[in-house]
Structure 1
Amino acid sequence: MNSAKIELRNLAFFARHGLMKEEAKLGQRFRVDVQVKLDPALDLQSDSEAETINYVDLYETVKQTFEGTRFNFIESCADTIARKILERFEKALEVTVKVKKPSVPVDCICDYFAAEVTRCR
């Protein structure tokens, strides 16, 4: 079976997501990873934009969703991004979105906490 995917890794966004009042007030940087599995029937040998997903359009969808809505939970954020990508891009068969929150309101030392969601057609 053939497979192809597009990945956007470690996208940085500033937003005010989070359940706590301080998170909503101050905001913070988040990181987002997106993986889109393409329809295996696409003719990638054609080297045609009609046979793939434009990276810029994909990025803009992620950015608009992430920055355009305030989420209490990063799980909801990841799910909304994945659903929007599937709605907008018919060539996407499966989408995985990971939202990473580096500044967590927990007394710990860590790189980040994250939520990952996968949605399929």
Structure 2
Amino acid sequence: MDKIMMNQLEFYGYHGVYPEETKLGQRFYVDLIMEMDLSKSAKSDNLNDTIDYGAVHDLVKSIMEGEPRNLVETLAEEISSSLLNEFSFIENVTVKVVKPDPPIPGHYESVAVEIMRSRSV
């Protein structure tokens, strides 16, 4: 299966379970792997035969900068289901949501959740 990857999309959101997270907000990163057949678009050189990266970014931004969620798991699930619903070309999607510098005891560079979802047949 062919893949389109979008890496380290950066957003500022107010997600988390601690009061300071929902008040102050923080940066989040999203990585996407979208699997689909790219043979038609490779031959046609036409954007209508593939995924518009700008439209994908806008969809992910609306979730990441939208309604606060407690869990990054929820954000990843919303992104994956929205991508599969919005873009019929996508067969499988992997979504990774990274929360740099989480406010938990000890020093952690980041925490992340990665999920893989497929289109229902």
TM-score w.r.t. the length of structure 2 is 0.91
Within 2, Cα distance between the matches of 1:6 and 1:69?
27
1:81 is aligned with what amino acid? Answer: I
> How far is 1:74 from its partner?
0.2
> How far is 1:39 from its partner?
3.3
Structural mapping, 1:1-121, within 5 Å? 3-39=1-37, 42-121=40-119
Between the two proteins, what is the percent identity of the paired residues?
A: 37
Within 2, Cα distance between the matches of 1:118 and 1:24?
27
C-alpha distance after superposition, 1:40-64 (max 9, x if no partner): 6645212111221111111111111
| Runs of 5+ unmatched residues, structure 1 | none
> How far is 1:9 from its partner?
0.5
Within 2, Cα distance between the matches of 1:70 and 1:77?
9
> How far is 1:107 from its partner?
2.1
| Runs of 5+ unmatched residues, structure 2 | none
The total of aligned residue pairs comes to: 119
Question: What is the alpha-carbon root mean square deviation over aligned residues?
Answer: 1.4
1:76 is aligned with what amino acid? Answer: T
2:12 is aligned with what amino acid? Answer: F
Within 1, Cα distance between the matches of 2:38 and 2:67?
32
TM-score w.r.t. the length of structure 1 is 0.91
